[in-house]
Chains A and B, each alone.
Chain A
Amino acid sequence: MKKLLAVTACPTGIAHTYMAAESLQKAADQKGVPIKVETRGAVGVENGLTAQEIAEAHAIIIAADTDVDEDRFAGKPVIRVAVAQGIKVPGELIDRALAKEASSGLGASPTSRPEENEGRKPNMFYKHLMNGVSNMLPLVIAGGLIIAFSFLFAFTKGGVDQVEGSFGAALSTIGGASMGLMVIVLSGFISFSIAGKPGLAPGLVGGVLAKDMGAGFIGGIIAGFVAGYIAHYLIKTIKMPKNFEGLKPILIVPVLSVLAIGLLMVYVIGQPIEWLLTGLTAWLTNMGAGNAIMLGAILGAMMALDMGGPFNKTAYTFAVGLLGASLYTPMAAVMAAGMTPPLGIWLATVIAKNRFTKEEREAGKVASVLGLSFITEGAIPFGAADPIRVIPSFMVGSAVAGALSMYFGGGLHAPHGGVFVLFIPNAIDHLPQYVLSIVIGTVVTALMVLLLKRKAPAKL
C-alpha cells in the first residue's frame, strides 16, 4: 500500500491550514489511501512527520503558502501547491501523488534500512547515502554496459586496446565519461540530500576532487557528507545585514562551501591518500613472490575493498607493472578478484530473491555483465548501499579468487578484457583452472553476502 504524507500551512495559520488538512484527509479516506497530514499553523506544528514516515512515504503533498522546512523531503517526490489547492482539489492532489514514481531504485530498498531502534540519526545518514547511490546508479549501468560493448569491437582486433578513432574507441570514451561521473554524482547528491540546493555545488566539486585524487567511491561518500554538512552549517550560521541578504545564497555560501570542501579534500584527504598509495605499493613490492598464494589473497581483497579507490588502484597498478617484467600471475589474480564482486552479487540476487528488492535484482542482472567485463565498479551501488555487510563479503570472495588463481598458476598477458580475453589464444595460462578460480570466488562472494545480509522485510 502506498502511504502518502502531506504538510499544510498558511500565513495566518488559523483557517486554511486546517481546512486543507481536513480536505486531504477526507479525500484520502474516500480513496482508501493512508495519509498523514502535518499542520503548521498558529498553534505550532501538529501531527509532525517523523523521519521514519518520510522514508517510507510514497510521495509528499505540500499545500502551503509559507515555508514548511522542505529540506527534510530531499530525494522524495514532492507535489507543491498553494494551500488553497489543498482545499479545492484534494482528490486530484492525491491522485497526482499516487502517480509519482517511487523515490529511487535502490533508495527504496528495505533490506539495508537501519533498524527502527537506531533512532533518527542513522536513518538520516542512510537517506543521504541512498540519495547519492540512486542517482549514481544509471551512470554505472550505462557506462559499464557501453564499455563492455566496446570490448566486443576490440576483440576483433585480437587485443583489448581499442584502435584510436575506431567505433570501439568511441564507445570506450562514452562509457568512460559515464563511469567518470560516478563518484562526482554520488558525492554531489549526498550533499544535495543534506543541504538542499546549496549543497549541490560543493558536493560536486568535492566529488571531482575525490575522483581526481583516486579516492574512489569511499572518498566520494566522505566528500559528499562533509560538503553537505559544510553547506548546511554555512546556511544556518551566516548572518548578513538585511541589505546584503540576497548575496548569501548566490555568492557567500557557494564560494565559502566550495572553498572549504576543496581545501579539505586537497590538504586533509588528498595527502593521506598519496601516502597510502606509496606505502601500499612499497609493501606489495617487498612481499614480492615470497608467498604467492598470500599475495593473491591480499591483491584480491584490495581489489574488492574500495572498488576503484586507492587500494584497488594500487593492486591493479602493481599487477600491471609486473606485466613489464613478464610476471603474469598477479595480473590474473587481480582480474579474477575484480570480476567476482559484481558476479557474486548477481549470483546472490538470483539465489535469494527475497533478500533483495525488485530494483536490486534488476541491477544484479546488469552487474553480471559488468562482472564478466572486469568492471568491478558494477558492484559499487550494492557496496555503497550497505557497506558494513557487503564489502567484507566482496573482500572474502575476491581474496579466494585471487589466492586460487595464484595457486593454479593462472597467468594473464593483458591488463584488461574480462571474459573477452578468455577467447584470445595464449592470453591466459592454465585457462580452465583460472576460470574455476573465478567461479569459486563468485560462489564464495554470493554465499558471504547471503550469510551477512538480512532478509528483506515484507513489502510495505
Chain B
Amino acid sequence: MNISELLSTESIFLPSTATTREEAIQQMAAGMKASGAVTNEAAYVDAVMAREQQSSTGIGFGVAIPHGKSAGVAKAALAFSRFAEPIDWESLDDQPAQIAFMIGVPEENAGNEHLQILVALSRKLIHEEFRAELINAQSKQEVIDILTRTIG
C-alpha cells in the first residue's frame, strides 16, 4: 500500500474556498464520499467534529489534521485542502490553518498498513520543508507526487 491509495484527486481541494472549520471538514468529507472511501458522510463528519470538540486538531505551523474513526468510513482515506484564505482552527499556536489533512479510519480496523502511512505523514508534518512544499504545490498531482516521494 502507498499513500496514493489513500488520497485520490477527488478529495484534494486546491485551493479550498471554505471559510470555517466546519465547512472545510464537510467539504473534505464530501470529497472522500465521492472517491468511495466514505459511505455515510454525516456519521463520519459527526465523528470528526466530536474529535475537534475534545481538543482542536490544529497542531500549529498553519497545519490542521482533523480525523475520525467511524462506521461511516468504508476504507481508510485521506483528504487534503489548501485554503485560499487561512481558516481559524483554534490551533495550539493561535495561527490560522493554511493546509489541512483529514483522516478517515473505519470502525473495524483491517490491518495496520494504512496506519503506518498516516503515522509517517504525521511525523513528516513536523518538518518545515515538507509543509512548505505542500503549501506551494501547484496542482493536485503535485501534492500526490510530493507525498509519494516523501512517504511512499
Contacts and interface: CB of A to CB of B under 8 A. Distances in A.
Given A19-B125, A26-B126, A87 B60 contact: yes
Contacts of A12: 51, 67, 69
Interface in B35-59: 51, 54-55, 57, 59
Interface string B114-136: 01101100111111000000000
Contacts of B127: 22, 26
A84 B118 contact: no
B123 A87 contact: no
B57 A15 contact: yes
A84 B57 CA distance: 9
A14 B105 contact: yes
B65 interface: yes
Contacts of A41: 115, 119
A19 B67 contact: no
B73 to A, nearest CB: 13
Contacts of A88: 60, 92-93
Contacts of B125: 19
A85 to B, nearest CB: 9
Interface in B64-122: 65, 67, 69, 92-93, 103, 105, 109, 112, 115-116, 118-119, 122
A19 B130 CA distance: 13
From DSSP, what is the main secondary structure of chain B's interface residues?
Answer: mixed
Interface in B10-39: none
A247 interface: no
B5 to A, nearest CB: 17
B125 to A, nearest CB: 6
Contacts of A11: 54
Interface size class of B (residues with CB under 8 A): 20 to 34
Nearest to B66: A15
Contacts of B59: 15-16, 19, 84, 87
A279 to B, nearest CB: 64
B123 A19 contact: yes
Nearest to B69: A12
Given A14-B67, A15-B67, A84-B55, A43 B60 contact: no
Contacts of B115: 14, 41-43
Interface string A8-26: 0001101111110111001
Given A12-B67, A15-B103, A43 B112 contact: yes
B119 A14 contact: yes
Contact of A43 (B57, B116, B123, B124): B116
Q: In the complex, which of the residues B59, B105, B116 has the most CB atoms of chain A within 10 Å of its own CB atom?
A: B59
Contact of B126 (A22, A42, A84): A22
Contact of A23 (B105, B112, B126): B126
Nearest to B122: A18
Q: In the complex, which of the residues B93, B103, B123, B127 has the most CB atoms of chain A within 10 Å of its own CB atom?
A: B123
Contacts of A87: 59-60, 92, 126
Contacts of B54: 11
A74 to B, nearest CB: 29
A56 to B, nearest CB: 26
A12 to B, nearest CB: 6
Q: In the complex, which of the residues B51, B105, B126 has the most CB atoms of chain A within 10 Å of its own CB atom?
A: B126
A13 to B, nearest CB: 8
B27 to A, nearest CB: 20
A328 B112 CA distance: 79
A84 B122 contact: no
A14 B122 contact: yes
A43 B67 CA distance: 16
A39 B119 CA distance: 10
B104 to A, nearest CB: 10
Contact of A18 (B55, B92, B119): B119
A85 B136 CA distance: 28
Contact of A14 (B55, B118, B126): B118
27 contacts: A11-B54, A12-B51, A12-B67, A14-B103, A14-B118, A14-B119, A15-B57, A15-B103, A15-B118, A16-B59, A16-B122, A19-B122, A19-B125, A22-B124, A22-B126, A23-B126, A26-B127, A39-B119, A41-B115, A41-B119, A42-B105, A42-B112, A43-B112, A43-B116, A84-B55, A84-B92, A87-B60
The 7 A-B pairs of least Cβ separation, nearest first, read A18-B122, A22-B123, A22-B126, A15-B122, A88-B92, A15-B65, A18-B119
